[in-house]
Homo-oligomer: A and B are copies of this chain.
Amino acid sequence: MVKKPAPDASRRSERSRRAIYAAALALVVEVGYPKTTVEAIAARAGVGKQTIYRWWPAKADVLLEAFLDLAEQAARELGQEPYAIPDTGDLAADLRAVLRATVDELLDPRFEAPSRALAAEGVVNEQLGREFVAKLLEPQLQLYVDRLRSAQDAGHVRADVDPRIALELFVSPLAQRWLQHTGPISHAYTDTLVDYALNGLAPR
């Protein structure tokens, strides 16, 4: 059985953990993923290499946790519950709200630079890309799946629609504009995406 750490040790650990997250995120921005080593993270965080290896098997795992932590912080600051999309019964309003919050997060400089560095590496490094999609992106997309399923139950979304594909009609345009600089992002833009996706491009 593992002994519960004394309060002092626990505070020290928490401080080290935060320093390691910050160091990993800063390095991936400054030197890119390939050159972000466990050694460099340890040196910058002011901890021993063994401290990192005690908690994480490899640098990808450190970065993954640093990102999860960053995303949760951002969601809390925006007053959002990080693990669910609200269901007020008005699907359009709920989607507009969560996408507006996502726009704010994507435009937050703390979030933007490390996300770009990691996304760029994921484009060319298929293994890392798939791991980060599975652990970071897909769980967020599943929140849309849940919300669209409950809308299907309420008769607000066609019964024959696959929610995992449907969510891409508003999530992917925002992702591509942000990632590839193909256009500006704003609340008005994501509101428009929700309108087009729910109501369709063809006249009703």
Contact = CB atoms under 8 A, between A and B. Distances in A.
Interface stretch (A16-24, A60-68, A97-105, A158-166): A158-166
Given A157-B201, A161-B201, A202-B156, A180 B124 contact: no
Interface residues of A, number: 52
A120 B116 contact: no
A168 interface: yes
Given A169-B173, A172-B176, A200 B200 contact: yes
B168 A130 contact: no
Interface string A58-85: 0000000000000000000000000000
Chain A facing B: main interface SS: helix
B157 A169 contact: no
Contacts of A129: 180-181
Given A116-B123, A168-B176, A180-B129, A201 B198 contact: yes
Contacts of A189: 165
A17 B193 CA distance: 43
Contacts of A182: 133, 137-138, 141
Contacts of A122: 180-181
Interface string A19-62: 00000000000001000000000000000000000000000000
A3 interface: no
A121 interface: yes
28 contacts: A32-B124, A117-B124, A119-B180, A120-B121, A123-B179, A126-B181, A129-B181, A137-B182, A141-B182, A158-B201, A161-B201, A165-B173, A165-B189, A166-B201, A168-B173, A168-B177, A168-B193, A169-B173, A169-B197, A169-B201, A172-B173, A172-B176, A179-B179, A196-B197, A196-B200, A200-B201, A200-B202, A204-B204
